[in-house]
Every structure is written in structure tokens, then in C-alpha cells.
Chain A
Amino acid sequence: MPPIITVENVGKRYRIGQSQAPYSTLRESLVEAVRSPFKKLARNNGPAEFVWAVEDVSFEIKPGEVVGLIGRNGAGKSTLLKMLSRITEPTKGRILLYGRVGSLLEVGTGFHAELTGRENIYLNGAILGMARNEIVRKFDEIVSFAEVEKFIDTPVKHYSSGMYLRLAFAVAAHLEPEILLVDEVLAVGDARFQRKCLDKMQDVGKQGHTVLFVSHNMPAITRLCPRTILLDQGRVLSDGPSHQVAGEYLSGGLGTTAAREWTDSSKAPGDDIVRLRAVRVRTENGEITDVMDIRRPLAIEMEFEVLQDGYVLSPNYHFFNEHGVYVFLAGDSDPAWRNRPRPRGHYVSTAWIPGNLLAECTMIVGAAVTTPESEVVHFFERDAVAFQVIDSLDGDSARGNYGGHMPGVVRPMLKWDTRYTSG
């Protein structure tokens, strides 16, 4: 089948100087014009003032494919998406598109706070490339997807941030282009709505649309996209089945690691009640590690700061494997703090995963602090840390001496009894 997207040796070069001073003044240009004889010399001096955000990227995508695009910050994912959606022009190479493109680089592009929900649906739909009759046809569906029926004629400036995001995503989710480009937009909203968005994206993929999906959310990538492209420093590092590529990304130390710290409290995940300061994976001996021996226990440690007295807070961890399977949820079950409001201060909560519980996998851990009674999520850092569970062939794990593939997400050491009667 011929590809619907062909990317051939595409590169995008930025001037570093320009990113610091995004616009020049007329006077500078005039001065520069006077000095122009010298400008040529200066240019020859250094290609160093340029940086290639994307360099020599080539790939093809077939119609109906759902492809993930991953890489750490600055790898060129967004630049590539911007070139594909024609927002910015490549410096070299070429891209061939055999279908109508809809891009979703941000939720709520063009939303205007003064306009009502109804008005914003029309405006945003038009901006994203929907025809008016298409919006009219899907209007009710969009409103009910966003769950904002009651407030549809209220200006969106009075919306809660959750409502705003739901409405914005609902419009975008009803786009039906042949090629859909999506950037990280699912990192918003509450968990339940995120699930709804992911399901909607899955439907889009099933309807035969081609989707290119940029995300840091490995479970989402592996679940939605059979194929993933990994970018690093503007180049394609690997391109293949998602669980392989995602595993490579995680274990290669490119993204999520065994320990993360937020030194600047104001930028740390959280609200004005509690802030996340660090998440770490440790061995029994207290060493930071990204490898778990399947037989030995492992500690997941969360450091957080409580800024206001009097809230019942429950730290909890969410464990996903590289296929995006939600393996388990662990909430703090220590009775000492379960229903007790916490005074201000610094806390370190550690959860121990016993040995001989998990199967071999790349485990991605989300860290959250919630107030269970009011169901308030103070923060939920999705891909806080990751570690690799390794089974050895020493013979004393559940695997025994068997060296082949063992399916399943858990691999407990069970107690086996054998009753033997001689025949």
C-alpha cells in the first residue's frame, strides 16, 4: 500500500540568536544594513549560531496506521509536528501528504474567554478546519462529550479549568481528517476524562484514520500505537513496534529515570496544599536503582512538602508496564496517617514492593497525592520514575530453570504441594 505521509530527509534549522531575541527593531536592521559589508564576513565565521532542531528525518506512514512519536524534551518532536501541519517550513527535505491534515498541537487553540461555550465550539471548530455544517451536525455530540450542557451559553471565562479543557478537547476529538496529528494534549484533565480521550483516540484509529501521536505517556503510546518512532537530537533513533521502542527509550535513560527531583518548589507538581519534591527507586540497601531483581524487594520513595495544615493526604503509586497495562495501584495503607490531618512539613513516604510478585517488564510508576474523602487529586505525576524488572536464570525465582517466554503481569512464587501415590 502506498504511504499517506512521506517524510524525506527533512531538516529544520533555527538561529540560536533569534530564539533569544525573537524580533528585531527597525533601528537594528538599519544599523545592520549600513554594516552589511561586514555581515557577510560574520556569517562565514560560524555555522555555530545555527542549530538543527530536526535533522535528516525520513519515514513513511501507511493509511490507517497509528504511530507514536516519542523522545525527551528538545528531541524535535514538536518541530516535526509543526512542519507536518504546515505551521513552519522545513529548511531542507520534503514532506508529501496524501490526505487532509488536522492538527491538534494544543487544546483550545483560539478559544476566547469572553465567548460562550457554544460560540467557542463554532470558532474553534472553524480554526481546526471543520466546515460549518460539519460543526452543526456534531454540535450536540460535542456538548455531551464535554459534559457541559448546562453551561453551554456561559462565557468560558467562568468555566472551571476542567470544564474548559473538556470542551476544548471535545471539539478537537470530533475532527475527522484523514491524517490527525496530536501533541501531548492528553496530559491534561482529570484521570477519568483522560481515559475518555484515550478511548476516543483509539476509535479514531479504528475508523481507518491515520494518526501521529506525540506523548511522554508511555502507557498511552504503547496501548494506542502499534508502531513508534523515537527521536533523539533531531534524528530518528529507532522506529518499530511500540513496546520495543518504548522499552529502549526508558531503559536507555533518555526519559524517565530511577530518580526525579524538583528543586524549584514553584515548578514542582502540586497545588497550594502539597508539592512533590522527589520520587526515587531504591534497593533494600538504599541505593538508587533502575533495575529490580525479581526476587528482591524494592522501595519506591516519594518526598513531598505539605504547605497547609489540616488535610488528610494519601500518597499513592500507579504501576504501568511497557504495554500500557495498569498493573496495580498502591495507596498508603499505614493506619498512622490514614485518617489523620497532616501538619505542615516535609514527608518521605516509602512503599515496598515485595520480591517474587511482578513479572519481567519495564515498570512505569506514576506518583500522586490525593485527599480520598473529597477525591481531590493534589498532583499526579504520570511517568515519575521507571525501572526494569529482571528475572535471572539462577533457578530460585518462579521461573525455575525454564528459559523461554513467560506471559502475565505477575509472577508470584506460589507454594506448591505435591501428593504422590506410587502407581
Chain B
Amino acid sequence: MLNQPNLTRPAAESRNTQTGENPRPLPSHPLAIIEPTKGLVSLNLVELWTYRELLYFLTWRDVKVRYKQTVLGAAWAILQPLFMMIIFSLFFGRLAGVDSKGVPYPLFALAGLVPWTFFANAVTSSGNSLVGSANLITKVYFPRVLVPAAAVVAGLVDFIIAFLTLVGAMLYYKVGLTLNILMLPMLVMLTTLFALAVGMWMSALNVKYRDVRFALPFVIQIWLFVSSVIVPSTALPQKWRWLLSLNPMSAIVESYRAALFGLPFNWQTLGIATVITLAVLTYSAYSFHRVEKTFADII
């Protein structure tokens, strides 16, 4: 009796192994065709979606490593904009007497510096990200765009921490919230997308031209002065103001203030900023995708 199942079992198992030896039928179409790229390429967003977990892990690595290697860890995210605020308050608030639209100047500066610091750090780290991941790029395949994207998303973590300082400062100056605050998520998204657009572009350029690594910090420094972080755009004569609207960061920074302090939005400049962001994002996504297959050969 007991032997009965034991006798039948091997037979069933051997059938199973036979089907196992001749496993799943092969798909009728190849899962991948590898051949030289010709002409226009599609962005292959489907593939990007299948790699979403890797974006999470790369971001998580960036954040984890950054906080492990520094003594002050997360405090840096707060200290950077805080010290700049103090310096700007002394020079521009006190000495130059910049018109801060009725908001106390330190708060005015901090509200600009927090998103600006996010943008600047995100662009810098994502611009250098591909070159820094050469060992990955020459050894494993994955959509390369995840590397600069992870650097930007990792910057968001710092941004959230730094934002807490801003909340503290608003409580200190007793600034009440208005419905304008509802625009905040939209603005964070716009900043992230613009940082991604610029960072992705720079990272690809950096693979080919290492000049980017040296030029980028310099460009970012100058960019700070034309992004309405220190002085409002209204300080500029009317006939030059259109120039500022070509810089999406200027409109974004001013919109953060409008959202936080209940000031009126400048929908026109914000609209232009959104259009420019999307245009730069599209351009840089396509040009990135066109050259990403050569990264492993030239990095």
C-alpha cells in the first residue's frame, strides 16, 4: 500500500522533467533585436517602466552613501541654504536694502535658496553621474537615463529636509498660508523636471567632453544671479525683464514665493517656464537616447 504512490511518483516526475528539458516554447518574436541604430529612435518608455525598481535602488544608494560618508549627514541639506541666507541677508537685505515685496528679507532669500539649492545640486550631481558610474556602464545593460535621473531624485530627499528649515522660518516670522500653497506640488514637479532635463543633457555631454565637469559649477554660480533668488525680477528695468523669462528658474523661484507667501503668481512667466522646461526635456531625452549606446565605448 505504502509503496504504491512511491511507484507512480517517479513516472510523473520524469514526465515533468521531460517537459522541463524542453521548457517554455520560445516566443515567436525575439525579445530583443540588437543591430546598429539608424535614423530616428523611439524613446522606449515601456522598457523604462520595467526598470523602475532600479531607479529606486540607485536613488536609495545615492542617498544612503551620501549620508554614510558625511559626519553631519542630513544637516548639510539644511546648512547650505541657511548659511547662504545669512550672508545674503547681511549684504543684500541690510546693506543694499533690496526690496523684498513686504516679506522679511531672510525669509525671502531662504524661499529662493531652498529650491535653488535643490536645482543646483541636482544638476551638478546628475551632470557628473554618468562619468562617475563608468564601471556600471561598461559592465551591465540598463537604460542609462536612470543614472542621471536617480541623482536628481536623490536631491529631492535633501530638498524635503531643507524645506523643513523654510517651514521653521515661516513659523518664526508668523507668515500665514493662503490657497496659493496648492501650487507647491506642481512647482516641485516643474523644478524636478527642469533639473532632470538639464542634468541629463549635461551628463551625456560630460561623457564626450570632460570640460563639462569644470564648466558646470561655474555656470551654476552665474545662473544663481539671474534666477531671482537674491533680488526679485521686478528690480530689473521693465525692458530687460523678458530676458529673465527665458530662464525657467527665475519664474520657478518667484512662483515658490508666491505659493508660500500668498503673493500674486505671474502666470505668463510661469507658463513660458513650463513650455521651455518641456521643450528642453524632450530635446535632452532624445539626444540622450541617441548617444547612450555609445557611452560604453567612449566613457
User: Interface code B20-33, partner A: CB below 8 Å = 1, 0 otherwise?
Assistant: 11110011001111
Instruction: Please tell me if the beta carbons of A89 and B37 are within 8 angstroms of each other in the complex.
Output: yes
How many angstroms from the CA of A114 to the CA of B62 in the assembled complex?
A: 11
Given contacts A82-B296, A89-B293, A126-B54, contact A109 B33 (CB under 8 A): no
User: Interface code A37-49, partner B: CB below 8 Å = 1, 0 otherwise?
Assistant: 0000000000000
Q: Smallest distance from the beta carbon of A412 to chain B beta carbons, Å?
A: 41
A–B pairs, 17, beta carbons within 8 Å: A22-B298, A23-B210, A24-B208, A26-B211, A29-B209, A87-B139, A89-B36, A89-B294, A91-B36, A98-B26, A99-B31, A109-B136, A114-B65, A115-B64, A115-B65, A123-B61, A126-B56
Query: Which A96-114 residues have a C-beta within 8 angstroms of B?
Result: 96-101, 103, 105-106, 109-110, 112, 114
How many angstroms from the CA of A91 to the CA of B38 in the assembled complex?
A: 11
By size class, the interface of chain A is 35 or more
Instruction: Please tell me if the beta carbons of B23 and A63 are within 8 angstroms of each other in the complex.
Output: yes
B139 contact set on A, CB distance < 8 A: 87, 105-106, 109
How many angstroms from the CA of A85 to the CA of B140 in the assembled complex?
A: 7
Instruction: Please tell me if the beta carbons of B64 and A14 are within 8 angstroms of each other in the complex.
Output: no
Query: Which A106-142 residues have a C-beta within 8 angstroms of B?
Result: 106, 109-110, 112, 114-115, 119, 122-123, 126-129, 131-132
Chain B minimum-CB-distance residue to A12: B297
Question: Count of B residues near A, CB < 8 Å?
Answer: 43
B65 contact set on A, CB distance < 8 A: 112, 114-115
How many angstroms from the CA of A84 to the CA of B35 in the assembled complex?
A: 10
Instruction: Please tell me if the beta carbons of A112 and B61 are within 8 angstroms of each other in the complex.
Output: yes
Chain B minimum-CB-distance residue to A91: B36
Instruction: Please tell me if the beta carbons of B140 and A110 are within 8 angstroms of each other in the complex.
Output: yes
Q: Which residues does A use to contact B, with CB under 8 Å?
A: 1-2, 4, 6, 14, 18, 22-27, 29, 63-64, 82-101, 103, 105-106, 109-110, 112, 114-115, 119, 122-123, 126-129, 131-132, 155, 207-208
Say if the beta carbon of B239 comes within 8 Å of chain A. Answer: no
Partner of B33, one of A22, A96, A99: A96
Partner of B140, one of A29, A109, A155: A109
Known: A24-B208, A84-B34. 14 other contacts (CB 8 A): A23-B210, A25-B210, A82-B138, A85-B141, A89-B35, A96-B30, A99-B31, A103-B140, A106-B139, A109-B139, A112-B61, A114-B65, A123-B61, A128-B140
